[in-house]
Structure 1
């Protein structure tokens, strides 16, 4: 199963390469989850997987509008909160990997879908998480 997961990630990295930056001096990426204080995130204590999932900023940024639920599922697994059937969003606890010897940062990540089960938007819950995901320094790993 582990080899299968690694193969899926390798294929996704070929199809969705690491983000490119317009200019060498840019320090922030131009796409990725939005930071919106009006978006409601569930209480982390209600998560079915309270430890969350370890992932990289690159994986989070690959979940863009137009991606399918299958794509999200392959990158992050099943949603970590029970939202019911035919829901329009999935919520995750993600532990962002920042490199060897650096502590993971736990964030809440929300993926919003349309009626065709395609991603329309993604959101992150805190400024710290947004800055980690948005910093191009995290894509040299």
Structure 2
């Protein structure tokens, strides 16, 4: 008499187990693919400043995993713009949004490295080259190193060279100014730091500066881009903001045809003010401190 009752009592549990198994499997696959990605976390300016200040040793070719061990061996054809958007101080959610899940089974806990297999077309036909790409994360789980394996792979991210202009019989030499200071308030939207935050007037100034640098045939030295902020806000935040703005100006000049190999970028935060202000009202203080919010572009001599 008890046996049929026992079987009937077991049926709901069995049905639940069958229904739950696919969900558990999908969760396990997601964990494996994302390297045990934890729920999203807040990225602070202090965390970004730490990531920007770190300088880990680059991996050797042997440190990259063998392509045959990839979980997704087909790899992917990535967007060059997505790869150009990669920076230090990015979280895993942000990297995943640009590049997708890593192509290797990176592990289940404490994952500090993602690896990808990327393909790039060589022409109009089906031919392509294959490169490996590694992203490493620091103790805050923010990017602090991106690396390539494969001859010429890193060069694929360089913007195409500016179109050649016809050479006139007589052309006056345009000498780029040794140092140009651009006010951050005229370059960026309020508290902005990315290419999308550049104001139209700021873009026009950078275009004019890029033309002057390209036209200066007598200088082949480095171009130093230095970001500065005022003293409002914390020092780590100001350091990260000044570096991010300098990187954005560098990227814009490179897109405008200035050779990337000549560019040097640094952020000085609030450490080198031009003016000192003591206004009691915040609005007046912000206006007074405007000269300190700037980006300096210095063309160094090639001699």
TM-score, normalised to structure 1, is 0.63
SS in 2 for 1:91: strand
Shift of 1:97: 4.7
Instruction: Figure out how many residues of one structure are paired with residues of the other and give that number.
Output: 103
| Larger relative contact order (Cα-Cα within 8 Å, sequence gap ≥ 6) | 1
With over 3 angstroms needed to count, the CA separation of the structure-2 counterparts of 1:97 and 1:58, relative to structure 1, is: farther
1:56–1:97 contact (8 Å) kept in structure 2: no
Determine which structure has the larger helix proportion and give its number. Answer: 2
With over 3 angstroms needed to count, the CA separation of the structure-2 counterparts of 1:37 and 1:89, relative to structure 1, is: closer
Report the structure number with the largest CA radius of gyration. 2
* Residue 94 (1) aligns with residue 118 (2): yes
Q: Distance in 2 between matches of 1:55 and 1:99?
A: 16
* Residue 126 (1) aligns with residue 161 (2): no
Determine which structure has the larger strand proportion and give its number. Answer: 1
TM-score, normalised to structure 2, is 0.31
Question: For residues 1-141 of structure 1, what are the structure 2 equivalents within 5 Å?
Answer: 38-39=60-61, 40-84=63-107, 85-97=109-121, 100-101=124-125, 103-133=127-157, 135-137=158-160
Please tell me the root mean square deviation across aligned C-alpha atoms, in Å. Answer: 2.3
1:52–1:92 contact (8 Å) kept in structure 2: yes
User: Structure 2, unaligned stretches of length 5 or more?
Assistant: 1-57, 162-254, 256-303
